[in-house]
Amino acid sequence: MIRLLTLPLLACLACAPVGMALAEKADRQKPMNIESDALRHDELQQTSVFTGRVVLTKGSIVLRGARLEVRQGADGYQSGVVTAEAGQRAFFRQKRDAVPGSPEEFVEGEGEVIEYNGHNDSVRLLRRAELRRYRGNALSDEVTGAVIVYNSLTDVFTVDSAKAPHGAGAASGSRVRAVLAPKDPPARPAPATTTAPAPVQPVLRPSSTLDTDQP
């Protein structure tokens, strides 16, 4: 088992740019840790190819597949392409930014190829792509298509269907399918209750004299 952090030659891959905007997710600032059965590194091209039961973790991001090619750009950001075994799909998972008072949310995805772009913190799922969103342990939303792009900075995803061959009917191409759960409505404030004023009690005053009839 090869561990990225134990290779001094690859220490540069464990460094991410600092001084990022507060709106960006903390995952971008975390080191990239990779485990695999084999590794080939090209220092000149700044690329590393991991093969065999590859597992990548970067903060809350998890990527799994049979092959991973990692490249570091001149700007210091890391990108990776994960490829699955034949007939299988690579796996992606990332925790979403917490919303106060709401359960933890996670995004999971699968595809024969998964492209991770560290510059804009996005993933691209290719071929038999599927993206799921969980609220706690409950599945909330699910979409499938030929190509799915998810950007965790903007929390926006796009889905494209497979194109039908030229001259084929529309039914020949795949269709985008989505299951979107309704969001919980915001809690309504309790209606204001009005209390009726307390009845006014007669005030009794003592008297030292009695009124009597005079003869």
Given a cut of 90, whether residue 125 has pLDDT beyond it is yes
Given a cut of 50, whether residue 198 has pLDDT beyond it is yes
* Per-residue pLDDT, 102: 76
* Per-residue pLDDT, 7: 34
Give the range among 14-23, 87-96, 136-145, 154-163 with minimum mean pLDDT.
Answer: 14-23
> In this prediction, what percent of the chain has a pLDDT beyond 90?
38
Task: Give the separation between CA 176 and CA 147, rounded to whole angstroms.
Answer: 9
Given a cut of 70, whether residue 155 has pLDDT beyond it is yes
Q: Contact 73/86 with Cβ under 8 angstroms? A: no
| 7 or 45, higher pLDDT | 45
* Per-residue pLDDT, 191: 65
* Per-residue pLDDT, 200: 62
Given a cut of 50, whether residue 104 has pLDDT beyond it is yes
Task: Tell me the average pLDDT across 206-211.
Answer: 55
Given a cut of 80, whether residue 139 has pLDDT beyond it is yes
- Average predicted confidence (pLDDT) for the chain: 77
| pLDDT tens-digit map of 47-83 | 999 999 999 999 899 999 999 999 988 777 889 999 9
Task: Give the separation between CA 195 and CA 179, rounded to whole angstroms.
Answer: 47
Q: Contact 91/62 with Cβ under 8 angstroms? A: yes
Given a cut of 90, whether residue 92 has pLDDT beyond it is yes
| 183 or 75, higher pLDDT | 75
Place of tokens 């979403």: 96
- The full set of domains in the chain, from first to last, is 2-164+171-180 (2.60.450.10)
* Per-residue pLDDT, 4: 43
Q: How far is CA 157 from CA 2, 39, 65, 92, 142, in A?
A: 33, 32, 22, 14, 11
